[in-house]
Amino acid sequence: MHKRQNLLAFGLLFPSILVLGTFVFYPMIKTFWLSTQTTDLMGNPINSVGFKNFTNLFNSEIFRTSITVTLIFVLVTTVVTVVLAYWLAILASSKLKGIGFFRTIFSATMGISVTVASILWLFMFNPQIGMFSRILAFLHLPDINWLSDPVWALVAIIGTTVWMNLGFSFLILLGAVQAIPEDLYQVADLNGASKWLRLTKITLPATEPTVFFVTVVTLINAFQTFGQVDILTAGGPDYHTNLLVYSIYQDAFVNHAVGRASAESVVLTVIIMVVTFIQFYLNKRKAARYAD
């Protein structure tokens, strides 16, 4: 009986195992394996080098820059996106006439593709005719080379990415804020609670699971940023916007170093895994605290 159930379970799981195996596990295992090889121009392995690809990576200043800017980028992008989206969600949840218009505007970036958005921002960052340069000139501030100064280029990419991710985060958070029962606020009003108290004691705790979800999604999205970098800076100046995924693409498809690119992919996978585990751990601890 027990055996039969196992068989049935396996039979039912088989289709998804097949699909996941073909499109997720097999490529993943192959990437792990390729990361220990040197490859020819076509990406065929030539010989096994053990962990040499990895030691080469960590000895390379370019890769270290890549990791550093990726971490800075992901951290800043995620925090700014979530905070900004939350603020907008609270603003947009107020019952005003015509608020629907603002809700549409705030979530509109969701409908714009990465390429279109990047090109739009490219115009705004243009050193001569761009909006930002014009504003700076108007305020008599020194000119900034948005896309060719190492620090400002990263700021530019972060700004663009935040803008792009904002729509999605905003929409999800708005849903969560609106789902909070109205009577909670009415009780708070009766007790004369301040706006701040209402925010910290009702709104934030009630939306915490959603904030967690949005943070995880934004974070993983940020790690996988590609289009903006390609269009705005191509990883430059001097690798200061060479985010990991872009670096993987460059090594795999431009430099034809599949071994090195695979090693980078493995590093990225490990980083995302660790970060996600930490997040889930923190969330679980918090959930346990609330249960007490």
Partner 1 sequence: MFKNIAKYSALLAIGAGVAAPVTTVDAASKPEKIVFWHSMTGQNQKSIERIVKDFNNSQKDYEVVPEFQGQYVEALPKFLSVGGSKKAPDLFQSNEISTKQLASSGMIEPMETITKKYKYDINDIQENILDYYKIDGKLYSMPFNSSAPVLYYNKDAFKKAGIDELPKSPTYEEITDAAKKLKDDNGKARLSILPYGWTFEELLANQNQTLVNNENGRKKTATKSTFNNEAGKNVLNWIKTNADAKTLVDYGTGANAGDNEIAGFTSGQIDMFMNSSASLGDIQKNAKFDVGVTYMPRPEGTDANGVAIGGASIWQSKGKSDKAQKGSYEFLKFATSPEEQAKWAKDTGYFAINKKSYDTDTMKDAFKETPNLKVAVDQLNDSKRNPATAGALITAMPKERVNTQNAMENVINGKDVNSELEKAAKQTDEDIKAANEQSGE
State which of residues 165, 233, 247, 262 lies at the interface with partner 1 (CB under 8 A): 233
Q: Map tokens 């009630």 to a residue.
A: 206
State which of residues 7, 197, 234, 282 lies at the interface with partner 1 (CB under 8 A): 234
Number of residues that bind partner 1 (CB under 8 A): 35
Q: Comparing C-alpha atoms, which of 116, 119, 82 is closest to residue 221?
A: 82
CB of 222 to partner 1, least distance (A): 20
Residue 128 amino acid letter? Q
Query: Per CB under 8 A, does 180 bind partner 1?
Result: no
CA end-to-end distance (rounded Å), the chain: 41
Burial 112-137 (b: 16+ CB within 10 A, else e): eebeebbeebbebbeeeebebbeeee
State which of residues 43, 71, 76, 212 lies at the interface with partner 1 (CB under 8 A): 43
Query: Per CB under 8 A, does 139 bind partner 1?
Result: no
Determine the Cα–Cα distance for residues 166 and 143; give it in Å rounded to an integer. Answer: 28
State which of residues 96, 105, 255, 273 lies at the interface with partner 1 (CB under 8 A): 255
Query: Per CB under 8 A, does 149 bind partner 1?
Result: yes
Considering the complex, state which of residue 5 and residue 47 has its C-beta at the smaller distance from partner 1: 47
Query: Per CB under 8 A, does 122 bind partner 1?
Result: yes
State which of residues 63, 73, 86, 239 lies at the interface with partner 1 (CB under 8 A): 239
State which of residues 36, 39, 70, 77 lies at the interface with partner 1 (CB under 8 A): 39
CB of 279 to partner 1, least distance (A): 33
C-alpha distances out from residue 278 to 78, 110, 275, Å: 15, 28, 5
Burial 239-278 (b: 16+ CB within 10 A, else e): bbbbbbbbbbbbbbeeeebbbbbbbbbbbbeebbeebeee
Binding site for partner 1 (CB under 8 A): 38-43, 46, 62, 119, 122, 126-129, 145, 147-150, 153, 230-239, 253-257
